[in-house]
Structure 1
Amino acid sequence: MKGMMDAVIKTKAAPNSMEFASVPIPEIAPDQVLVQIKASGICGTDHSLFHWNAAIANSYKLSYPSIFGHEFSGVITEVGSQTKDMAVGDRVTVNPILYCGQCSYCAEGIINICDNRPFLGTDYDGGFAQYVAVRAQNIIKLPDAVSFKDAALMEPLCVAIHAVERVKPEFGQSAVVIGPGAIGLLMLVVLKNMGVGNVIVVGTDADKDRLETAKTLGANFIVNASEEDSVAKIRELTGGKGADVILDAAGHQTVVEQAVQMAAKGGRIGVTGLPAKPSELMMTQIAMREISIVGNRAYNLKNWFQACNMIAGGLDVGPIATHVLPLKDWEKGMDLLDQKQGLRIILEP
């Protein structure tokens, strides 16, 4: 055994059953590398699993003790005998989808909907620890220009890139992002960097600080749906036409219902949020106005290289990492998210 390491572990299938503990440093298989983690982000999934949201928890095959965390970066400290082009000291981030590489979806490069896709940080131990064992083919090497903190934001940036690509925005079109959390604000950044025209970000009273952040990140308009009718306001801001592209990053069942009312004829609605309840939609209206509703899950392989190149090329994702805490203060990070303070909380083991 290599020794012990600090980690945050989920001890049982119940709310709040996580603790800071000392556990064995993982042994690696011949096709794996050992990564010493330098930065690890707390995702909304991690937050939901901490509080034990049953709808999300039942989507994974969890075993206990379990180490969450799937947005992380670090340095390779050990390489398996069957790995290629990997070396101790390499600065890396990690694609947490352990895609099979053999199904028809993997053959098309759409690993996000692979038939057999265990996930680091749920099905296997993840990044809320000092070390993690990772399959070598899931490693993405980092350019020197990309910091560990920014690299820990690369996974949510991939989510945003994939979602934006799926709704196919065009130069000068109008776009709405509903939900100004980390993913929603990264969607905003991606849209602005693509040359989309007006980008409008919609939130609620609970998102006031995040809406202000949206302004600093380039939103043309912000809308507080707690204070005004968001559908009417989007119509007004688009000259009565409605928005060409709408992205749901909120995950509430009413969002797509509202998005249909906000959309222009031929509008495209991308669904990234994961509501716990079904939405009610008038399909006649969707058909008559040729509105498309597109589901988005995670990211494809190419999105990792896109995200890496964008950050290395100067894309500023730094404002998304609002707090940096030592790993032992993980519970403070969860408290901040409970209070809707901050966006991505970064833990440093």
Structure 2
Amino acid sequence: MKGMMDAVIKTKAAPKSMEFTSVPIPEITPDQVLVRVKASGICGTDHSLYHWNEAIANSYKLQFPSIFGHEFAGVIAEAGSQVQGITVGERVTVNPIIYCGQCSYCAEGIINICDNRPFLGTDYNGGFAQYVAVRAENIVKLPDSVSFKSGALMEPLCVAVHAVDRVKPQFGETAVVVGPGAIGLLMLLVLKNMGVGKVIVTGSGADKERLATAEQLGADYTINIDEKDPVAAIKDLTGGRGADVIFDAAGHHSVVQQAVQMVAKHGKIAVTGLPAKASELMMTQISMREISIVGNRAYERKTWFQAAKMIAGGLNVEPIGTHTLPLKEWEKGMELLDQRKGLRIILEP
């Protein structure tokens, strides 16, 4: 398909330096499909790269001009000559990890920690555009009942599902989610959906609106850490025992240190956030109280099918997509995130 398309491009390695413009529609290789993007979410990574947070930017090998956006859904506009089982017009979302399929980790199915894993929206052009070229095996078909908005929210939902799956909380246990952003609130939805006992969400004074959203989404308790000591509050809510599972969805170096104080013996701390600084831990406590610290990165291939089934089965993730804007108003979306307003901003090319 030849012609031009609308896109938001990052022009250079500097703060902001992004613009709405017209670029050629990408040409596909025989093993690729062309996706006509219908909805694309602005992730925290996109926001950080827009402001050129160097701790984040240095994690990627960006080439300019670059098109961000790795949370998107749309329809198949064109299929390469070698592509089978995918037809023009089908509704899809996309796993943005371009895993190699050759390393020992891919052989085990854990493509999230593949030795060579370029990423759509950073290493390759992504979803802040009308069209994206995608390797066919990264396509995930959307059930008819799943909207494009929900399809764009499947990537962050997969992050939440994978983190919960890694620590496997048991029925009736108490879980704490630290950080009421999009990933944290999706963890809340997954935990409530699977039947854990109590789910407690903590956040700062700046998160008041998000904590209110957490209550609307089913949190049993919310704690504003600027108003009360979260360690004392969680001990109080658990009869002095502490929480069985704690999820770090905040990405601040103090979270795991705090989690060690509020987790129960034999409890688990799941780390999904990416702090810029190191955390200091007294390892004696980890050992004496048999605490497990579990790192979680992205998702596996199976996670996408789990997430699709959950949404098709009635899990409503749409409240996480708090604002929907046309692609040309992308800058307004970044400003909303600057002001900590909204969770996921959905752009419609």
Identity %: 79
Show the counterpart of 1:295: 295
Q: How far did 1:206 drift?
A: 0.7
Show the counterpart of 2:327: 327
**Equivalent residue of 2:22, what SS?**
strand
Show the counterpart of 1:42: 42
**Equivalent residue of 1:323, what SS?**
strand
Show the counterpart of 2:146: 146
Q: Deviations for 1:189-215, whole angstroms, at most 9, x for unmatched residues?
A: 000011100100000111000000100
Show the counterpart of 1:165: 165
Structure 1 CA distance for aligned equivalents of residues 295 and 2 of structure 2: 43
Q: How far did 1:166 drift?
A: 1.0
Show the counterpart of 1:259: 259
Show the counterpart of 2:119: 119
Show the counterpart of 1:232: 232
Show the counterpart of 1:338: 338
Q: How many residues align?
A: 349
Structure 2 CA distance for aligned equivalents of residues 59 and 49 of structure 1: 10
TM-score by length of 1: 0.99
Matched, 1:29 2:29: yes
Q: How far did 1:17 drift?
A: 1.1
Show the counterpart of 1:244: 244
Q: How far did 1:223 drift?
A: 0.2
Query: Match for 1:125: what amino acid?
Result: N
Matched, 1:11 2:11: yes
**Equivalent residue of 1:328, what SS?**
helix
Structure 2 CA distance for aligned equivalents of residues 150 and 188 of structure 1: 16
Structure 2 CA distance for aligned equivalents of residues 146 and 301 of structure 1: 19
Q: Deviations for 1:268-325, whole angstroms, at most 9, x for unmatched residues?
A: 0000000000001000011100001000000001100000011011111011000000
**Equivalent residue of 2:261, what SS?**
helix
Structure 2 CA distance for aligned equivalents of residues 17 and 271 of structure 1: 32
Structure 1 CA distance for aligned equivalents of residues 135 and 283 of structure 2: 44
**Equivalent residue of 1:244, what SS?**
strand
Show the counterpart of 2:282: 282
Structure 2 CA distance for aligned equivalents of residues 345 and 246 of structure 1: 27
Matched, 1:313 2:303: no
Q: Deviations for 1:130-181, whole angstroms, at most 9, x for unmatched residues?
A: 0000000000011110000000000000000000111110000000000000
Matched, 1:189 2:189: yes
Gaps in structure 2 of 5+ consecutive residues: none
Structure 1 CA distance for aligned equivalents of residues 239 and 14 of structure 2: 49
Show the counterpart of 2:175: 175
Q: How far did 1:67 drift?
A: 0.2
Alpha carbon RMSD of aligned pairs, Å?
Answer: 0.6
**Equivalent residue of 1:234, what SS?**
helix
Q: How far did 1:51 drift?
A: 0.6
Structure 2 CA distance for aligned equivalents of residues 264 and 334 of structure 1: 39
